Amino acid sequence: MKPIEFLNPIRRKMLATMMATTAIALLVAGGTMLILDLRTYHNNWIKDISAQIELLGLSSMAALQFDDPAVAQENLSLLRIRPEFQAAAIYDPHGKLFASYVRDGLIPDFPRIPENDGIQINGGTIDAFRRIIQGNQILGLVFIRADYKLTQNLLKGLGIVAVVIVIALLVAMLISGWLQSFLINPILAIADVAREVVTKRDFSLRARKMSNDEIGALAEAFNSMLEEIESRTDELETSNKVLEKEVSERRKAEEEIRRLNQDLDIRVQKRTAELEAANKELESFSYSVSHDLRTPLRAIDGFSRVLADDLGDNLSENAKLYIGKVRDSTQRMGQLIEDLLNLSKLSRTDLRPNPLDLSVIAQEVVDNLRQSSSDREVDVSIWDDMKATGDARLIRVVFENLLGNAWKFTSKTGNPRIEIGTIQEENKSIYFVRDNGAGFDMDYADKLFRVFQRLHGQSEFPGTGVGLATVQRIIHRHGGRIWANSTPGKGAAFFFTLTDSGNTRGQESI
C-alpha cells in the first residue's frame, strides 16, 4: 500500500473554502447590482425609442396624407443629433419605402416586410415598428433601428465586479491566514498520526486529544477507528470473496439480458410488421366503410327531398324545419365522408413533382372563392412569382383548404384581408397565408391539425375538421412542415415549407 501523500493540505483547502465563500458572496451581490443596472438601461432605452417613434409618426402624418416625401425625409434627418440611432424609415400603406435615414458610414438595410407594431432586439441593435393611424385609416408605418449597448454595459459592469472581487479576496487571504492556525494545528497532528499508521502498518498508535471541541471528538473517533481496523481486515477479506462470487453471477445475468435483448429486437420487428399490416387493413376498412355509408345517406337525402316536394303544402312548419335539418345533416355527413376519402387517398396517391407557380395556383383558388361568394368584398394580396416544386393537384388542395379557411374565418370581420406570400430563411422558402379574421387560442394549437378537431363551434363557423389534417398530410408527403401562429380576434397565419423550393420574389405589403 502506498503511503498517504498530502498533495493538498487542509490549510490550503480551508483557505480555498474561505476564498470561495467570499467570492460567491461578492458575485451574488455584484451580479444582482449588475442585473438591476442592465434592466434599468433596457427599460429606459425602450421608453426612449417608443417616444421617438411616436413623435416621428405624428410629425409624418401630413407628409403621408399629401404624398410629400421631402417633409418626411426632413423629419427623419433630425435623428442626426442622436448618433445612437442607426437608421429610420417611413413606409406608405402598401409597404413601399416612402422616406429613409441612415447614419453616416452605414449601409442601408431596411426590412423587406414591415412588421406589426412592436420592438425587436437583434444582438447589438434594436428595431421598432409603429403604424401611423389617423382615425380608422392606416397612413403608413415608421421603422427605427438603434444601437443596443447592453453587452458593452455588461462587460463594463463585469470589469468593476472583477476588480472588487480581487481586492476583497486579497483582504480575506490576509485575515484568514491568521485565523487558520487556531483550527488547523490539531487537525495536522491527527494527520501526522494517520500518515505514520499507514507507513508503518502500526495500528497501536493513537492521536492526542488537544481540545474538547469537534476536533477533539475527531481524535477520539480516529482512535476508535484504529481499534476496529484489525478486526475489519478479516471481514473485508471474506467480503471480497463474496463480491467475486456476485461479480461472476452478475456477468451471467448480463449475458442473459443480452440474449433477451436480441429476442426483444426480433419481437419488435415482428410487431412492427404486424402494425404496418394492421394500418393497411384499417385504411382499407375506412375506405370501404366510407363508400358504403354514401348509399344510405343518398337515400335519406333523396327521400327527404321527395317528401318535401310532394307534401310540401300539407306539411307543418315544424315538419318542414325537421326535414330541412335532416337534409342539412345528410349533406354535411356526405361532405365529411368525401373529406375522409380524400384524406385516405393521400397515403396511396403517387407524388408527381413538377415546377409550380404558386402565385398562379393561389389566384385561381381566390377567383373561385370570389365567384362562389360574389356578395363579399375581401382584400386579397398575392405575391408575384412564387416558385416551388411539387404535385400540382395536391398543392392546389393545400391552397383550397388554407384560403377557404381564411375566407370563412374573415366572414365576420369588418375589413377582411388575406395575404399569400413567401419569406426566405437560410436559403429556404417559407410560404404563408395570413388573414385578419377570428383567429384562435395558441393554447390549443396542438389540436389544430388533428382529424375532427375544431377550435370554433359549428354554428359559428361550419366545417368538418378534416381540412387542416389533409393539408398537413400533403405537406409532410412533400418533405415539408406546417405550423401556425394566431391571436384570438386578430387573425391567423399559416406557414409551410416544401422540398426543393425555388427562390421566390414577391411584392411587399404591410
pLDDT in tens, 335-378: 556 655 665 556 556 778 889 999 999 999 999 888 887 788 88
What burial class does residue 136 get, using C-beta atoms within 10 Å of its C-beta: 0-12 exposed, 13-18 middle, 19+ buried? Answer: exposed
The yes-or-no verdict on residue 3 having pLDDT over 50 is no
Residues 449 and 474: their CA atoms lie apart, in Å, by: 12
pLDDT of residue 337: 64
Question: What's residue 440's pLDDT?
Answer: 82
CB contact set of 508 (below 8 Å; sequence gap of 6+): 95, 96, 112, 113, 114
pLDDT above 90: percentage of residues in the chain: 7
- pLDDT score, position 298: 66
Write down the domain spans for the chain: 234-348, 351-496
Please give the residue that has the higher pLDDT: either 117 or 3: 117
Taking only the tens place, the pLDDT of each residue in 66-99 is: 888 888 888 888 888 888 888 888 988 888 888 8
Decide which of 82 and 231 is more confident: 82
Query: What is the average pLDDT across 177-182?
Result: 63
If you average pLDDT over residues 432-458, what whole number do you get? 72
Mean pLDDT, all residues of the chain? 78
- pLDDT value for 41: 79
What pLDDT, in 10s, does the model give residues 106-155? 787 787 767 778 888 888 888 888 888 888 888 888 989 888 887 787 78
Q: Which of 51, 54, 52 is nearest to 132 (CA)?
A: 54
- pLDDT greater at residue 431 or residue 427: 431
Minimum mean pLDDT range among 24-33, 258-267, 438-447: 438-447
Count of Cβ atoms closer than 10 Å to residue 328 Cβ: 13
Write down the pTM of the prediction. Answer: 0.39
Quick one: average pLDDT of 408-436?
88
Q: What CATH code would you report for 234-348?
A: 1.10.287
Nine cell digits for residue 310 = 310532394
Report whether pLDDT(192) > 90. Answer: no
Between 438 and 294, name the one with better pLDDT: 438
Q: Could you report the per-residue pLDDT of 373-407, keeping only the tens digit for each? A: 778 888 999 999 899 999 888 898 889 888 888 88
The two most distant CA atoms of the chain are separated, in Å, by 120
Q: Does domain 351-496 have CATH number 3.30.565.10?
A: yes
- Region of poorest pLDDT, from 87-101, 218-232, 414-428: 218-232
Banded model confidence at residue 420, pLDDT cuts 50, 70, 90: very high
Q: If you write DSSP's letter for every residue of 190-220 in order, what string do you get?
A: HHHHHHHHHHH--TT--PPP--SSHHHHHHH
Phi and psi angles of residue 492, each rounded to the nearest 5 degrees, phi first: -140, 155
Beta strand residue intervals within 69-113, DSSP E: 85-91, 97-102
